[in-house]
Structure 1
Amino acid sequence: MTHGPAVVLVGPPGAGKTTIGALLAQRLGVGMRDTDTDIEETAGKPIPDIFLDQGEPHFRELERQAVRTAVTEHDGVLSLGGGAVMDASTRALLAGLPVVFLDVALADAVRRVGLDAPRPLLAINPRQQWRTLMEQRRPLYTEVARAVVSTEGRSPEEVAEAVLDALELKQA
């Protein structure tokens, strides 16, 4: 058994990281951890409030710490926040791990996230903001990923199966 997460999911808001992560954890018989949840528990408030009260740089530092801790402590399925890959030290930490980039089309992401969801970086003109985020982040998602799995036209169960196949993992 290798140390570290069995699967690490990365991708933009609306890719389904939490949903797919839960399905993978169930199929593999391991725990599921989401660094956004860890950040909210550490800060004692929702992520939009962290952005509003302390700003994005403070949030990104909390995110760096959360990812570092989770990669070290967790051996199940790990879901990272959409912007975690922006940090070079986080990308270095992910090197060699079973990282999967869940690639999602804009229309699917918008439908899943919803235009009124409390996503600080998508607050104004969500579609354009999402496109801009993807232009910045897509090369970083692919850089850290061992596999890229498209979610387009697939059910969560089909995406989870594709992740297991891509990483050649056996279900529990």
Structure 2
Amino acid sequence: MVTTARPTAVLIGPPGSGKTTIGAALAEALGVAFHDTDAAIEADQGCSISDIFVLDGEPAFRALERAEVARAVAAEPGVVALGGGAPMDDETQTVLDGHVVVFLDVGIADAAKRVGFDASRPLLAINPRAAWTKLMNERRPTYERLATHRVDTAGRGVDDVVTEIVALVGPAR
């Protein structure tokens, strides 16, 4: 009999919300694996997401992202963290249906402290604060619609956020 793995939780949110940091800590707290789709794409492609954007363009990156998210949600047990833009894709939204999706919400002040709005964030490279605010205004309705749970990470420590998420999602299956 073939079984497919199912994530305990899928984390979504804007850059700086803590998807990678909180995801790793959450996976450890639940005793499950952690999978970051952005890191998987970089490992598979042998270059950074910024380089993919520059060399191949955003549409090429989004195609890689769409494929990796679909694969990860179908095959990765534990906690899966998606890139900030992944949930904007219609196919990805369909893939997320029926999964426990946690929207890690954050304000710009905390996001700026966490990511520094440097050149490694291609969509935030020019006027990062304005770009982040615009992205968040565009993405928030989708994040909220897809979320099973919304957790505010602003001004909070990793352990505090992880404790809240564990209480929401329960033990690993």
Aligning the two structures, in what range does the TM-score lie when normalised by the shorter sequence? over 0.9
Unaligned runs of 5+ in 1: none
What is the CA–CA distance in structure 2 between the aligned matches of 1:115 and 1:73, rounded to whole Å? 32
**Hey, what does 2:128 align to over in structure 1?**
126
| 3-state SS of paired residue (1:40) | helix
**Structure 2 counterpart of 1:101, one-letter code:** F
Determine whether 1:170 maps to 2:153: no
Residue number among 5, 22, 25 corresponding to 1:23 in the alignment: 25
User: Which residue does 1:149 correspond to in 2?
Assistant: 151
| TM value normalised by structure 1 | 0.95
Partners of 2:80 and 2:144 in 1: CA distance: 17
* Partner AA of 2:171 in structure 1: K
Q: Which runs of 4+ in 1 moved over 6 A?
A: none
Q: Is the 1:27–1:171 contact (alpha carbons within 8 Å) kept by the matching residues of 2? A: no
Give the percent of matched residue pairs that are identical in Structure 1 and Structure 2: 52
* TM-score (ref. length: structure 2): 0.94
Unaligned runs of 5+ in 2: none
Shift of 1:21: 0.5
1:7-156 alignment, distance < 5 Å = 7-156=9-158
Q: How far apart, CA to CA, are the structure 2 residues paired with 1:144 and 1:33? A: 19
Alignment CA distance shift 1:106-1:77 (3 Å): same
Number of equivalences:
171
RMSD between aligned alpha carbons? 1.6
Q: Is the 8 A contact 1:9 1:102 kept in 2?
A: yes
